[in-house]
């Protein structure tokens, strides 16, 4: 008798689990039951569909060769029975059966299983505020949401949109709507957008978004959505600000859609996700789970966490497919939390944990910020600002962030591999990475950032974070802010905060212009602070005892400046 495998959910993890199981076991009876009308939707592509990168919605469900992944495709190509527009309403683990109902006809069906896979995904967190049910308020979670926003963008049906939430989806929607000529305002309750970044890195992205015409409100929340004749007319913020708008997109996050599993008596973790072991097996040995509905292990902190990302869902599904066919032979070890976001011609990415998260977890760290072009100037260099975070006692890398116009993705990928391997700063110093002028400088940004952190750990470089320098300015502290760039660079961009300009080449001949007190605090910088570091070393050699380097230089300064 054929083994019956039933997969609940047909977005990412479900089809991957079913397809891998079929490749490993040609004889099993495999069924996918999907609540939505579509299968294998590339939901991460929704913002780019809305923004006009492509206009054909069918591309969101196609294979790389352009074949739609519909039920007929799964049946003809994979011998998998895919049932759409059908919601599984209950699981009976004792009888090993599911009950499902067709979303349009109401027809009820039951199906027995030998092995069950739950891939019910996530559901959007919708704020319980007045006006949330008005016309013109939406999330971006389903194909229907994407089509709704696509119609608005394509036909210019909105003039001003407010986006609640400054996370990945919120920022991607902000770009998509801006490209459609719609004015956008992002409202984020935290004091920064993109919470996977540290504040000084997130501020660089915020600065870029504002330069593209976006409005950003941080440290504020939408308390009320106002309307007129049932249609959105504006929002009121917690600080009493009122903003007129005709579209509101709620993107404050998602939560695991684990209710079905909970009702079946399966163990739910503290995070709200379905608890699974290393084989992606639930508390019932016949039932597996994957995707946004499960909790996973952080390979950085060792803690359980939620990680609702499409790549993780697919990898988890692949693991399950093998274990369905072979028994529990393949493990899913966990995540290092790698993510990336496009913001117009800017990119923001990270892997591991932020310095802020490390502090909240009681991990003592050392970090640095490094700015540099992603390749030689004669090859059309573009800037990247990187931040590297390591455990103070061990030197183990626990987080890397990068933002800028250069090839951020490559550097975050390098860093993610380093985190998976448990590498230390010392391990990175002589990595053999691919080099040619079209792709990188002779020493890649990632390795150079490690060199800077190594210099800081060993006490050669006395770095100071932009946040700390900003705090000194705000509190009126007295220090010498030493700009060692040339006069032409000063005209191109400058702080306008009373800095002393002494080009590095002229520093030795002009020491009389420096503070007489050799214990006075001096903070040196240049465009990316390489010359700032050289200035620090020279000044220390002539007796100055309190010289620091502004990490990342003026390029990495995330706050306002004169020019």
Contact 458, 465 (CB under 8 A): no
Which of 44, 119, 245, 526 is catalytic? The answer is 44
What distance separates the 2 farthest-apart alpha carbons in the chain? 92
b/e per residue, 35-51, with b = 16+ CB within 10 A?
bbbbbbbbbebbbbbbb
Distance CA 425, CA 412 (A): 15
3 state SS of 503: coil
Distance CA 206, CA 193 (A): 7
Distance CA 523, CA 493 (A): 18
Contact 340, 412 (CB under 8 A): yes
Distance CA 371, CA 549 (A): 13
C-alpha distances in Å from residue 105, one per residue of 79, 102, 488, 489: 26, 6, 73, 70
User: Would residue 44 show up in a list of annotated catalytic residues for this protein?
Assistant: yes
**Could you tell me how many residues make up the chain?**
563
Distance CA 235, CA 243 (A): 5
Instruction: Tell me the two tokens of residue 93.
Output: 């683990």
b/e per residue, 325-344, with b = 16+ CB within 10 A?
beebebebebbbbbbbbbbb
Terminal Cα distance for the chain, rounded: 75
**H-type helices in 187-263, by residue range?**
199-211, 259-263
CB-count burial class (<10 Å; 0-12, 13-18, 19+) for 102: middle
Contact 243, 235 (CB under 8 A): yes
| Paired sense of beta strands 183-188 and 160-164, if any | parallel
Report phi then psi at 56, rounded to 5.
-90, 110
What residues act catalytically?
44
């Amino acid at each position: 008798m054929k083994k019956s495998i039933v997969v609940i959910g047909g977005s990412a993890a479900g089809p991957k689990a079913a397809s891998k199981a079929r490749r490993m076991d040609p004889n099993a009876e495999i069924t996918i039951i999907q609540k939505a009308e579509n299968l294998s939707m590339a939901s991460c592509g929704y913002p780019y569909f809305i923004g006009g990168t492509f206009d054909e919605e069918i591309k969101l469900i196609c294979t790389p060769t352009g074949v739609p992944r519909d039920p007929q495709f799964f049946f003809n190509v994979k011998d998998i029975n895919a049932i759409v527009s059908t919601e599984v309403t209950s699981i009976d683990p004792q009888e090993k059966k599911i009950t499902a109902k067709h979303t349009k006809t109401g027809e009820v069906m039951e199906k027995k299983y030998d092995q069950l896979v739950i891939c019910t995904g996530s559901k959007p967190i919708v704020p319980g505020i007045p006006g949330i049910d008005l016309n013109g308020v939406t999330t971006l979670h389903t194909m229907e949401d994407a089509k709704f926003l696509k119609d608005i963008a394509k036909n210019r049906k909105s003039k001003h949109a407010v986006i609640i939430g400054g996370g990945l989806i919120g920022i991607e929607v902000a770009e998509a709507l801006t490209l459609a000529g719609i004015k956008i305002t992002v409202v984020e309750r935290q004091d920064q957008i993109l919470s996977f970044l540290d504040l000084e890195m997130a501020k660089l992205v915020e600065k870029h978004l504002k330069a593209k015409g976006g409005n950003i409100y941080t440290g504020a929340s939408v308390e009320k959505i106002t309307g007129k004749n049932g249609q959105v007319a504006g929002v009121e913020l917690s600080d009493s600000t009122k903003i007129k708008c005709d579209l509101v997109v709620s993107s404050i996050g998602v939560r695991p859609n684990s209710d079905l599993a909970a009702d079946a008596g399966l163990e739910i973790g503290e995070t709200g996700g379905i608890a699974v072991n290393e084989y992606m097996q639930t508390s019932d040995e016949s039932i597996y789970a994957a995707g946004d509905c499960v909790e996973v292990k952080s390979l950085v902190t060792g803690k359980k966490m939620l990680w609702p990302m499409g790549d993780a869902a697919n990898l988890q599904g692949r693991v399950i497919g093998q274990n369905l066919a072979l028994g529990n032979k393949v493990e899913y070890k966990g995540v290092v939390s790698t993510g990336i976001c496009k913001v117009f011609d800017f990119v923001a990415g990270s892997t591991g944990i932020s310095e802020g998260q490390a502090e909240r977890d009681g991990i003592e760290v050392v970090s640095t910020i490094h700015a540099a072009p992603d390749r030689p100037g004669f090859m059309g260099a573009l800037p990247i600002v990187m931040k590297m975070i390591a455990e103070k006692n061990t030197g183990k890398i626990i987080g890397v962030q990068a933002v800028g116009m250069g090839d951020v993705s490559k550097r975050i990928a390098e860093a993610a591999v380093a985190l998976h391997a448990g590498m230390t700063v010392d391990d990175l110093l002589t990595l053999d990475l691919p080099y040619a002028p079209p792709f990188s400088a002779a020493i890649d940004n990632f390795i150079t950032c490690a060199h800077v952190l190594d210099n800081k750990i060993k006490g050669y470089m006395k770095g100071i974070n932009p946040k700390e320098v900003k705090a000194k300015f705000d509190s009126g502290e007295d220090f010498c802010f030493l700009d060692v760039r040339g006069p032409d660079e000063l005209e191109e961009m400058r702080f306008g905060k009373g800095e002393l300009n002494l080009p590095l080449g002229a520093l030795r001949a002009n020491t009389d212009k420096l503070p007489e007190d050799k214990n006075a605090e001096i903070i040196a910088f240049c465009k990316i602070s390489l010359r700032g570091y050289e200035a620090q070393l020279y000044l220390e050699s002539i007796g100055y005892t309190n010289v620091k380097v502004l990490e990342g230089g003026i390029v990495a300064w995330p706050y306002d400046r004169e020019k």
